[in-house]
Each structure stands twice: as structure tokens, then as C-alpha cells.
Amino acid sequence: MKSHFRLLILCLLSLAAWGCTNNGHIGYLYGVWLIDSYTIDGIEADVDLANYSWRFQSDIIQITEQFGDHEYLESTGTWAFSDDERYLLLNFTNTRPGVPDDSPSYNPPAALGIPGRAITEMKILTQTSTRLSLSFTNSEGEIQRYDLRKSR
């Protein structure tokens, strides 16, 4: 009887652990990231970085722009790793019925230079559980680099 009880407990614990996974595709990205540095061709961009944060959960990315103590805008897209996991693909082409394509809710903040209504392939330069550096070449041929650190 004790062995049946132990087996039942083991099965329940296994099921609970299995139910907590995210198909293995979120890992270290989950959570809130702050921008330490944003450069264009090696020159610091004229942007108040303290007003922005990136949030990753499941396959959703939200870039939040803070306007005041209680005002903010969340721009929502999806993300994925490239097959070789050397690139982070940010997809801001999603829409919702009744929401215009140019809605800031589905386009990243213009000040950060990430194209709206597009999938942006960002090269992963460095990645740890607390630091992430990304870059891409914009339509003008300039290299944009983002150095992020995990907040929580």
C-alpha cells in the first residue's frame, strides 16, 4: 500500500513539474529588462532610456514607454529565436480586429528605432541570465545596438 501511495505522489509531482514548462523556449529571457545603452553606429542615441523597459513572457514581448508617474504605453509583439539561436526575431506585424495598423499598441516606440509593422532580426551579441546585447542594421545602413540588463 505504501509503495502505491509513493508511486501516486511521484506521478503527481512529475505531472506538476511537466505542467510548469514553457516548451523550453523562454529560459533566461523571462521577466523585465532595462536598457543600459542604445547606440546608433557607436554613438549614444538621444533617448531617455529610463523611460523604457522590455518584458518577455512566453512568446510575447512588450516594450513599455513611461510618460509620467502613472502614464505609459505598452507596445506588444511576439518574439522567437532563429533556428540557430544566434538571432532574436521581434515581430511587430500582429494586429487585432478594430485596431488600426499604425496603432502604437502594436508598434514599438519610434524613439528606440525598431521598425514597426515588421519582423526585426536582432543579432544576439552577448547573453547571460542578467545581460543581453542585441544589434541590427537599420534601413539606412546604421548599426543599432541595445545593451539590456535584467530588472526582475
Q: Tell which wins on pLDDT, 92 or 23.
A: 92
Joined grid coordinates for residue 18: 511537466
- In tens, the pLDDT along 65-79 reads 999 888 999 999 999
Does residue 11 belong to any structural domain of this protein? no
pLDDT category, 15, cuts 50, 70, 90?
very low
pLDDT of 90 reads 98
Rg (CA), the chain: 19
What tens digit of pLDDT does each residue of 84-124 get?
A: 999 999 999 988 888 888 888 899 999 999 999 999 999 99
Q: Work out the pLDDT band at 2, boundaries 50, 70, 90.
A: low
68 phi, psi to nearest 5 deg: -160, -165
Residue 72 lies in a domain: yes
**Band (24; pLDDT cuts 50, 70, 90):** very low
At residue 4, the pLDDT reads 55
Residue 5 in any domain: the answer is: no
Number of domains, the chain = 1
36-54 pLDDT, tens digit per residue, is: 999 999 999 999 999 999 9
Asked if residue 3 belongs to a domain, the reply is no
Does residue 23 register a pLDDT over 60? no
Give the CATH number for residue 93: 2.40.128.280
Note down the domain range covering 81: 24-150
Q: What is the pTM of this model?
A: 0.81
